[in-house]
Amino acid sequence: MNSAYVYLQLYKMFDSHTPLPVDCGKLCDGACCKGDASGMFLFPGESAVYRLLEPEGFRIEMSDLTYKDGEKERQTPIIFCEGKCDRYVRPLACRIFPLTPILNDRNQIEIITDPRAKSICPLAKTLHIDEYDDAFVSSVKKAFVLLAKNKHVYAFLKKYTEYINEFNRFFS
């Protein structure tokens, strides 16, 4: 399966679904797109989109987040931007921001407000998950239920969940 194709199809789910039924970037002057130094993780296989499209204004490096995929240890790519981009080439993590997927105690996909977003996004600071646009939350869940069927994505999500939970413990 061509992972670039899969991600490009998933991206379309977020063309019309955003956290609020209005442009939330106007509320905070696009705080999430200020091009900070932290970057956004790419999900397994997603870097194929950027090799295919080669959009300007992005660079990909390897992060410190590693996960075990079978017997192989894999590094997670992280993408950096210049703070402005064509919304149609944004990575999945940007499209779902300020939400993120984790695996719950039953190893099922759960969508939460990303604890890392609370220092950036006014929505993440103030809204509960059920206050976001229902279609947006549903699209995020659907995307990751589908992605988690891939063993590489599922392996990543196990480690990513640990990472998010540790972040939550440290900063709560």
Mean pLDDT, range 1-26, rounded to an integer: 87
* HSE toward the beta carbon, residue 66, CA cutoff 13 A: 8
- Of 85-94, 129-138, 149-158, least confident by mean pLDDT is 85-94
At 170, the pLDDT band (50, 70, 90 cuts) reads confident
> Average pLDDT, whole number, for the chain?
91
Tell me, what's the pLDDT at 108? Answer: 97
pLDDT higher than 90, residue 46 = yes
pTM: 0.92
At 32, the pLDDT band (50, 70, 90 cuts) reads confident
Mean pLDDT, range 106-111, rounded to an integer: 97
CA distances from 3 to 6, 96, 135, 138 (A): 5, 18, 24, 22
At 63, the pLDDT band (50, 70, 90 cuts) reads very high
